[in-house]
Amino acid sequence: MAIDFTFPTEVEDVRLRVREFIEEEVKSKEDDGLWEADNRQKLIEVILKGRHKAKQAGLWMPHMPEEWGGMGLGPTAVAAVSSECAKTRLGSFILNCQAPDEGNMHTLLHFGTDEQKEKYLKGLCDGMQRSCFAMTEPEVAGSDPTLIQTHGVRDGDDWVINGHKWFISGARGANFAILIARTNADAEIPQERNTAFIVETNWDGWNIVRDVETMSGSHNHCEIKIENLRVPDKNILGRVGGGHELGQVRLGPARLAHCMRWIGQIELALDMMIERAKTRFSHGSLLSEKQGIQWLIADSGRELYAAKLMVLHAAYKIENKMDFKTEVSYAKHHVAQTLWNVIDRAVQVHGALGYSTDTPLSSMLAQARWARFADGADEIHQMRTAQMLLRAHDEKGSTRRATCALPI
C-alpha cells in the first residue's frame, strides 16, 4: 500500500522538538498585554531573546534551505512544525517563520537576482531585518489585483511610483517592501499589468500614514501614501509585467502556511472547549456529558480532521512539484471557516468567560475573522474551485480531477 499517513522519523522528531521548545521556552513568555502598542519594546526584547534560543536549539526558519541558514524542511514537515508553532502567538516570530517575512523569503528565493538576495534576503534570514508586502488598496477591490491603481512610470533607469496602499502588515519597522504597482495599463492580458518592486522604506516617497485600527486593536497593518517614489530598474523583482504571477507564486504556499498556523489555533480552541466542558457543572451533570455540547465538540473534531487532511495533501502536492492550486483553494476556504467555527464554539462553551479577555479566546476570535477574506476571500476560492469543477466536467465528463484526483 502506497498510502502512509505517518511522518518519517526525522519529521516526527523535529515536530516533537518544536513542540517541546514552544512548551518550555515560549508559552511562559506569552502574555496578551505583550501585543499592546505600548509594549512594543518589550515584545521586541522577548522575540530577540527567544530567537537566540531557537538558533541555539537548531530551530531556525523551518521553511528555508540550509544554505540560507534554515532547517531545509519540505512543505509537509513545515506543516507539522508550523501548527506546533501556532499554539502560541509568539512561536512563528521566534522561529523566524512569521507572515509576511516567510512569504517574502520564498518570493526572493524564487525571483530574486543574486544581488537582490544578498542585499534583502540575507537580512531576513539573519533575523536582523523585516519586510512587508504591499498590494491592497483602499480604493479598489483587493480580491482583483488587475484593478490596482498604484502606478509606476519609467524615467531613465528608474521608475517613479505614485499610489496608495493599506493593511500592509508589518510596514512599521520593515526595512523594505515588495510593492506591487501597475506598469502597463494597456497590457493585452490584464494579469500582465503589474510589476513587483523592492522598495527600501527609508526612501523618499514611502510614507506611512497610520496604523489602521482593527476590531482587535492596532497590529501594524499600515496605510501608506506613495508619492514620487523613485525605484531603480535593478529593484524590479521578477520581470516587468510579472507582478501578478509573482503574487500567485507567493500566495499559494503562503496561504497554506496560514492554514498550518490556523490548525494550531483550532487545536488550542478545541482543547480549551473540552477542558471547560469537563469542569463546568450545570443541571445535574458536567457540560461534557450533555449531548448539545458533545455535538459542538464532535463537529469541531470532524472539521479539524478534514482540515488536517486537506493541508497535508496540499503540502504533499507542493513537495512533489505537482499542481496544487485546487488543493490550496479548498484548504484555505475550509480551514479559515473551521478556525472561525471552532473558536466561536469554544466561546459558547465558556459562556461569559469566553467573551471576557481573561482567556485568549476573544483575541483569537477577532483574529480569526480576517482569515475568511484575506489571502483570497471565501467567495474567491469558491469561484475558483467551481470553475475548476466545471472545466473538469466539460473536458472529461467527470469532476474527479478537480476533487484532487484522489484514488477513490
Ligand X SMILES: Cc1cc2nc3c(=O)[nH]c(=O)nc-3n(C[C@H](O)[C@H](O)[C@H](O)COP(=O)(O)OP(=O)(O)OC[C@H]3O[C@@H](n4cnc5c(N)ncnc54)[C@H](O)[C@@H]3O)c2cc1C
By the criterion CB under 6 A, which residues form the site for ligand X? 100, 132-136, 141-143, 167-169, 221, 370, 373-374, 377, 379-380, 383
Cα separation, 304 vs 315, in Å, equals 16
Write down the least CB distance from residue 351 to ligand X, Å. 28
| SS3 state at 158 | strand
Element (H, E) at 155: strand 151-155
Q: Are strands 176-182 and 194-200 parallel, antiparallel or unpaired?
A: antiparallel
Comparing CB distances to ligand X, the nearer of 76 and 265 is: 265
Comparing CB distances to ligand X, the nearer of 164 and 290 is: 164
What's the grid cell of residue 330?
Answer: 479548498
What's the grid cell of residue 356?
Answer: 471576557
Write down the least CB distance from residue 172 to ligand X, Å. 12
Write down the least CB distance from residue 244 to ligand X, Å. 13
Write down the least CB distance from residue 170 to ligand X, Å. 7
Write down the least CB distance from residue 281 to ligand X, Å. 38
Cis preceding linkage at 407, omega within 30: no
Comparing CB distances to ligand X, the nearer of 182 and 276 is: 182
Comparing CB distances to ligand X, the nearer of 141 and 209 is: 141
Comparing CB distances to ligand X, the nearer of 100 and 360 is: 100
Name the residue with the smallest CB distance to ligand X.
142
Residue 212's φ and ψ, nearest 5 degrees, are -70, 125
Pairs from 183-191 (Cβ < 8 Å, separation ≥ 24): 183/151, 183/152, 183/154, 183/159, 183/240, 183/241, 183/243, 184/240, 184/241, 185/151, 187/241, 190/146, 191/146, 191/244, 191/245
Comparing CB distances to ligand X, the nearer of 390 and 405 is: 390
No. of helices (H) and no. of strands (E), the chain:
13, 10
Which amino acid makes up residue 306? A
Cα separation, 95 vs 333, in Å, equals 26
Write down the least CB distance from residue 374 to ligand X, Å. 4
Write down the least CB distance from residue 196 to ligand X, Å. 12
Nearest CA-CA partner of 364 in 192, 215, 245, 155: 215
Write down the least CB distance from residue 161 to ligand X, Å. 15
Comparing CB distances to ligand X, the nearer of 7 and 373 is: 373
Write down the least CB distance from residue 319 to ligand X, Å. 26
* 30 burial via Cβ count (<10 Å: 0-12, 13-18, 19+): middle
Comparing CB distances to ligand X, the nearer of 345 and 381 is: 381
* 368 within 8 A of 265, measured Cβ to Cβ: yes
Length of the chain (residues): 408
Instruction: Quickly list DSSP for 187-235.
Output: -SSGGGSEEEEEEETTSTTEEEEEEEEETTEEEEEEEEEEEEEEEEGGG
Cα separation, 23 vs 25, in Å, equals 6
Write down the least CB distance from residue 167 to ligand X, Å. 4
Comparing CB distances to ligand X, the nearer of 11 and 246 is: 246
Nearest CA-CA partner of 226 in 170, 177, 156, 154: 177
Comparing CB distances to ligand X, the nearer of 299 and 378 is: 378
| SS3 state at 159 | strand
